A = this chain, B = another copy of it.
Amino acid sequence: MIKVQEAIAVIETSSTKMPVKQISIKKAFGYVLAEKVISPISMPPFRQSAMDGYAFTHSIRHQYDIVGTSQAGDHKNIKLQNTEAIRIFTGAYVPDSADTVVMQEHVMSNKNSILIASMPEKFSNVRPKGEQIEKGAVVFEAGTLITPAAIGFLASLGITEAAVYKKPKTAILVTGNELVEPGKKLKKGKIFESNSIMLQAALQTAGINKTKVYRVKDNLKATKKALKSILKNNDIVLISGGISVGDYDFVKEALLQNEVKELFYKINQKPGKPMFFGSKNETLVFALPGNPASSLTNFYIYVLPAIKNRMGFSEIHKPKLVRKLNSDVINDTGKTLFLKAKYDETNVTVLNGQSSAMLNTFATANSLLIVPDDIENYKKGEEVILLPID
């Protein structure tokens, strides 16, 4: 049995980065850059007006003749005399002979001339060429997460593709003779299989939108055979159920016979203790507990960070939160507890219904309260650590 922190560390050191691919910027949201990006242009590419107003050459003079117009998109390099100005709009090209733009709100104007009521400082309202970035400079370093703002900035530089780490191809194998697919008739002694659909949704939170689900009966031969091809064709394999010590749990044996290297089995935690983690080549295998709440807990604690690690994220764990407890918490297990909890701006409440089979509590929780194995109790009002889930 391994401690939670050790399990997290083992998974982290076992997770290699995915291969690199070129991707269209349009589809790059949520990926991580695998190579640094160099700017092909200066941005802005020319001196730009930051305001709607008038461009002129700064002097002590307040009155100027209007001799032209520069609209956004124009490129008229009008040669201004020191008595002349042009009408100019936000984003428009500022002629080489002008150095300053005055806001239209600060002038009195007629058709042919302006009188500047409030004189701006020299160079005001002119964005220098390359103010945001110079041609040839680094736009983003490798390891940058591609956010909407990053996509916008890349597009503004005319960049249409980038090198990113692929998303891991992920499969789910469901075991269990007691399981019936939702929509079918529930026979006596059976329950509906819900873990695969739950894990598919949870994978979407990591941007993995397509996950194939395989089902096998509880026997060694079928499990072994199914695993053989699943292991070959996926980067991350999630297995639901069949991993506790019951006589009918064949998963671990089937994994070992498929040459999956066992990296740990069982974690000193509650819920979620019976978990197997292993690898074959670069494929990671998580055999999760069959109990739904245990399965989802371990997904958030172990699987999600592993996916992010493979995708090149620099921060693979969600930032923890600190909140004040609304009630005492006792830990007489010697294990790390992950308690379904709901936090607000200042406090956190541990929810009723912490059994490993109970998903309804999870559905109303927004966090897992972490009680380390060496903590025997927390008092009401004490500050505790939460892992937010959403």
Contact = CB atoms under 8 A, between A and B. Distances in A.
A367 to B, nearest CB: 12
Contact of A365 (B50, B149, B360): B149
Given A71-B248, A72-B177, A360-B133, A152 B195 contact: yes
Nearest to A74: B189
A1 interface: no
A329 interface: no
B202 A244 contact: no
Contacts of A202: 148
A41 interface: yes
Interface string A330-359: 000000000000001100000001010111
A296 interface: yes
Nearest to A27: B201
B194 A153 contact: yes
Contacts of A200: 26
Contacts of A198: 148-149, 151-152, 155
Contact of A183 (B158, B189, B195, B246): B158
Given A201-B29, A357-B127, A152 B290 contact: no
A296 B201 contact: no
Nearest to A49: B246
Contacts of A92: 178, 189
Given A90-B290, A182-B160, A183-B160, A75 B148 contact: no
